[in-house]
């Protein structure tokens, strides 16, 4: 899988996680995502984000941010929200928090 495809897939995963969290906790999901180091929401409505650093590690931090505030159930919500996208990735590319 090339770098551009992987980055795009990580962006899709992050947006899906945030939107799923948003259905549960409301707009605070976007606020919390904005606190994750290296993660930047460019356009919330369009689902445009960027990563400043290792996207896999940043996704781990995103999941951890929700789990820190809302517990283990939040972690499971993240994993379930992206199961189909993870199926498209080589196992070594899947962030450890989503395995």
Please determine, for residue 99, whether its predicted confidence score (pLDDT) is greater than 80. yes
Provide the pLDDT confidence category of residue 85 given band limits of 50, 70 and 90: very high
pLDDT 10s digits, 69-78 = 888 888 899 9
| The token pair that represents 84 in the structure block | 């189909």
In sequence order, which residues have a C-beta less than 8 Å from that of residue 3 and are 6 or more positions away?
Answer: none
Alpha-carbon distance of 39 to 84, in angstroms, equals 22
Q: Give the pLDDT score at 15.
A: 97
What pTM was estimated for this model as a whole? 0.92
Please determine, for residue 49, whether its predicted confidence score (pLDDT) is greater than 90. yes
């Amino acid at each position: 899988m090339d770098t551009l495809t992987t980055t795009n897939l990580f962006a899709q995963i992050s947006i899906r996680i945030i939107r799923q969290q948003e259905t549960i906790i409301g707009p605070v999901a976007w606020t919390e995502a904005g606190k994750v180091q290296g993660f930047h929401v460019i356009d919330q409505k369009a689902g445009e984000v960027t990563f400043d650093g290792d996207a896999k590690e940043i996704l781990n931090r995103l999941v951890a941010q929700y789990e820190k505030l809302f517990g283990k159930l939040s972690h499971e919500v993240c994993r379930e929200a992206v199961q189909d996208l993870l199926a498209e990735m080589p196992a070594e590319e899947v962030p450890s928090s989503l395995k």
